[in-house]
Amino acid sequence: MQGLAPSSKLSLSVVVVLFLLGLASAAAHGRKRIVSSSSDEPCTKMTLYLHDILYDVVNNTANATSAEATKPTALSKSTFFGELVVFDDPVTERNALPVGKEVPAARGQGFYFYDKKESFNAWFGLSLVFNSTTHRGIINLMGADIMSQKTRDISVVGGTGDFFMTRGIATLQLDANEGTAYFRLKMDIKLYECYV
């Protein structure tokens, strides 16, 4: 580092320390980092279905899995602009709702809010919480749900447990709906950075 200015030496030292801490973190968890070299070959992929049953006066509380936390603003009630919905939805591997004591593959926990005045558009922030013999851990997703598009991508921004520090894309598609009371989203999840 001879010939570098003191501030450059400090910057280089910080970068080296951060790099080593990243390596130590992965090694401490006993995992190997896998990064896909092609968008056609994710290190993990899965298809899941999120079932959202919005509480309203008609639905009873035993069946509802989501509720309005705010009402739409006066700017546009026809597109629900400004409405915030919080949810704890069952997530399944098949498109049917779980029946009886059937345990869902995961729970989708988070919120969405409608953020466009002229047409339906939402923004999602959710965690897929897995707690089964197949998977344990969380996948965190977030991004714009542009409802006018048949399919739309949101980002997989991290995870824990079996999905430690994962990155990728979740392609959303409306699979079924019953007005505003129920919708089912098909989520094709492709993970391109995995730790195994």
Alpha carbons 96 and 176: distance in angstroms, whole number: 11
Average pLDDT over residues 14-34: 61
pLDDT of residue 18: 53
Residues 94 and 10 both lie in one domain: no
Do residue 8 and residue 94 come from a single domain?
Answer: no
Note the pLDDT tens digit of each residue in 136-179: 999 999 999 998 999 999 999 999 999 999 999 999 999 999 98
**Same domain as 183, residue 155:** yes
The more confidently predicted of residues 72 and 24 is 72
pLDDT of 90 above 90: yes
Q: What is the distance between the alpha carbons of residues 166 and 34, in angstroms, rounded to a whole number?
A: 10
**DSSP tag of 65:** -
The answer to whether residue 3 scores a pLDDT higher than 80 is no
pTM: 0.82
Letter string b/e over residues 155-171, b meaning 16 or more CB atoms within 10 A of that residue's CB: ebebbbebbbbbbbbbe
Contact 97, 105 (CB under 8 A): no
pLDDT band at 106 (very low <50, low <70, confident <90, very high): very high
Number of domains in the chain: 2
Residues 64 and 160 in one domain: yes
The answer on 59 and 11 residing in a single domain is: no
Tens digit of pLDDT for each residue in 27-69? 546 788 889 888 889 999 999 999 999 998 776 678 899 999 9
Q: What is the pLDDT of residue 190?
A: 97
Q: Do residues 170 and 134 both lie within one domain?
A: yes
Query: Containing domain of residue 2, as a range?
Result: 1-30
